[in-house]
Amino acid sequence: MQQQDVEQLVERVALKLGRGLSLEDLDGVLLAYSSNQSHADRVRVNFLLSKRVPLDVSAWQLSHGIATAVRPVVVPANQELGMLGRVCVPLMVRGFRVGYLWVQQDVEEQSATAILAQLPDVRDELELLSALLLDSNTAESEFRRSREREFLAACAGEVNAVSEVAGWKEVQGRGPWQLVTVLDADGWAAGTDPIASTLIHRSAALQATIGVDAALFSAGTETHAVVLFRESKGRADHAQVLVHYQLELAKRSGRPVHRIILGASEGFAKPRELAEAYRQSRQAAQAAAVDPQLGELVDCRATGMYQLLASAGGGAGAWGDPGSVYFRTLQEQDRNDELLPVLELLYDNDGSVQDVASRLHLHRSSIYNRLGRIRRLLGVDPLKGMVRLELHAALKARRWAGRPRI
């Protein structure tokens, strides 16, 4: 995309509507504006001068739902801000938000009805404008797409791709490395359009890693993103990427994003180890998605039993039934879901009744009572020996069966 093309198109739309327009990106930065305007309010004048939406104006606009809207939104006048009424037109391509076009009301207009009635007349121009903005997006450029495809092929173990990626200036001589899988724990399968979902993860990862020197390259897939880091002991850079990715994903998908997970591989010094590092990082992210106690920044070595479950393989239905007679007995009798959660917390907290009682907001006597019920049902002590190992493994296998399929 050339900036001239966008500016000309904005002018064309402005002439057809007979109104003043401004075009901004998702971060409130001015991209283009029309020259014709019968009356520019204070907000428009300041915006054209500063090239960025002020925070108080942005708050007013966001309070009317523009960040999640898929259709034009009427933003009423705000006398305190010196702002006339406006219509915000979200510009979208395949569900991917690329920017906002703002149409200002005239001084004498009491409502935005006339603007809304005019918008269908410029539908073609708005679609073209959206496409131009999409082409300008770094994550959607053909060069970037081809490099991401090659990087993901290297992560899948394709020999030629590994050789190519090893020679990239971002990678060569900058090891040892670490691979990170970035996963939306609750919304990883939310997308109905795989192309749009991939683009959203691409863009979120790219924007989240800008300015983070330790993040060497990123790529997006339909369900998650992958980031190549320089290996480090600290996790400050990872935490920064996590926070920014969550914000970018929410902004681009138009939905709330509650929990982002970063699953990290072991460090590796040879590019041919990319595939194994990718497997480790995916497994860490999957484990944290089904077992929140692992946290949001998870090293693969910290996932315990899940490493063994992942290495055992199996399809979508694997581990749905752990095959433990004791576990099945408890599962059948635990109709109110009171026994198995207590048992799992006891196993995970080194058998500390006090810690479990605090976590569940129960008195210790309630925990002891539930343990007594479990002993009576099984006829054995669930906190000792092979029975404990069997039940703990079965509980984790049940969680692992519900892991994200990425």
Buried residues in 216-243 as b, exposed as e (16+ CB within 10 A): bbbbbbbbbbbbbbbbeeeeebbebbbe
Residue 16 has pLDDT above 80, yes or no: yes
DSSP state of 319: T
Q: Where does the pLDDT of residue 117 fall: very low under 50, low under 70, confident under 90, or very high at 90 and above?
A: very high
State mean pLDDT over 170-189. Answer: 92
Could you give the CA distance from residue 109 to residue 47 in angstroms, rounded to a whole number?
22
| pLDDT attached to residue 37 | 66
Is the four-CA dihedral 389, 390, 393, 394 of positive or negative sign? negative
Pair 248, 204: CB distance under 8 Å: yes
- Rounding to the nearest 10 degrees, give the CA dihedral for residues 262, 266, 267, 268: -120
| pLDDT attached to residue 204 | 92
Q: What is the pTM assigned to this prediction?
A: 0.74
Pair 112, 85: CB distance under 8 Å: yes
Residue 253 has pLDDT above 60, yes or no: yes
As a whole-number percent, the residues of the chain with pLDDT over 70 amount to 93
How are beta strands 260-264 and 297-299 bridged, if at all?
Answer: parallel
As a whole-number percent, the residues of the chain with pLDDT over 90 amount to 63
| pLDDT attached to residue 75 | 95
Residue 1 has pLDDT above 50, yes or no: no
Lowest mean pLDDT among 138-142, 246-250, 338-342, 372-376: 138-142
Could you give the CA distance from residue 301 to residue 210 in angstroms, rounded to a whole number?
28
| pLDDT attached to residue 137 | 62
| pLDDT attached to residue 264 | 97
| pLDDT attached to residue 35 | 82
Highest mean pLDDT among 35-39, 142-146, 348-352: 348-352
| pLDDT attached to residue 274 | 97
Q: Where does the pLDDT of residue 138 fall: very low under 50, low under 70, confident under 90, or very high at 90 and above?
A: low
Query: Tens of pLDDT along 122-135?
Result: 999 999 998 888 76
Cα→Cα distances 159→152, 274, 275, Å: 12, 10, 10
Asked whether the bond before 176 is cis by omega within 30 degrees of 0, the reply is yes
Helices (H) and strands (E) counted in the chain, each on its own, are 16, 10
Query: Tens of pLDDT along 328-387?
Result: 999 999 888 899 999 999 999 888 899 889 988 999 999 999 999 999 999 999 999 999
| pLDDT attached to residue 190 | 60
Could you give the CA distance from residue 211 to residue 299 in angstroms, rounded to a whole number?
23
| pLDDT attached to residue 97 | 82
Could you give the CA distance from residue 116 to residue 214 in angstroms, rounded to a whole number?
47
State mean pLDDT over 88-100. Answer: 85
- Looking from the CA of 143 toward its CB, the CA atoms found within 13 Å total 3
The more confident residue out of 190 and 283 is 283
- Residue 26, phi-psi category: left (phi > 0), alpha (psi -120 to 50), beta (remainder): alpha
| pLDDT attached to residue 46 | 87
C-beta atoms surrounding 159 within 10 Å: 10
Is the four-CA dihedral 157, 159, 164, 167 of positive or negative sign? positive
Average pLDDT, the chain: 90
State mean pLDDT over 233-238. Answer: 93
Query: Tens of pLDDT along 267-313?
Result: 999 999 999 999 999 999 999 999 999 999 999 999 999 999 998 87
| pLDDT attached to residue 135 | 67
| pLDDT attached to residue 254 | 86
